[in-house]
Structure 1
């Protein structure tokens, strides 16, 4: 029977598109540590292991064990909100190009769905300015924050 910890790790991997190996690397864990948790071979991971996994997932160990998740990683790592209407198509296009450039320059790996959600968030932020203007520093910061 699958534990809550296993479910939360699997859900995180599915939502972020990360592999088990990439989670282990980001957490600084040895190969197969997370895989053994997911297979049920490690029923009582150490506190250090749980802290490392929780840090990558941006939640506390208690949240990891009890089923709460950080809002920054909820819904593929982006804050949920109502989707805006496309009022400024050229701005939307510029946002998309900026996000794709940052992804390419930093070699981030996002799914199409994740990328579109990032674009949506940045577009929502950008159109609040008068006139709407892309803040490349914000784009880089936001994409980096989601990539963690």
Structure 2
């Protein structure tokens, strides 16, 4: 590599560093928002027993708008789309973009749940998840397994009176196995 070529790359990077850094971080932030939005929409749809097509109809969205968010294909939905979804799901835009783990932590703190209950429930969810994966003969990656475990635990903790919801866990396993 010639000195002139190397020097011109260095000059280009130094003049454009802020722009490159901003673009990299902007994409990273947008990815976090997209993941939070996806998780929040899925959780709230489950709570309201809504499918993506029904959500799109009620929100007055084009076909596939909610589906693209749910499947991670829409990384930068419009504010109008997010607002319409929030209205149907009876929440704010901020709540849809909030990290689901922060939502869980807030809810657990409100319930003042004892540590022993948290641990016992976790082990019950873990046992049932492993049993279901074996019975359903599903091959899940480690990430998929951890997603199933986390979703099942959070749902059981917050939505099912601290009891393992076996049907929900089976549904999550099936959903995760079919995503990849």
Task: Decide: shared fold, TM above 0.5.
Answer: no
Query: Relative CO higher for 1 or 2, CA cutoff 8 Å, sep ≥ 6?
Result: 1
Higher helix share: 2
Taking structure 1 as the reference length, the TM-score comes to 0.41
Larger Rg: 2
Taking structure 2 as the reference length, the TM-score comes to 0.36
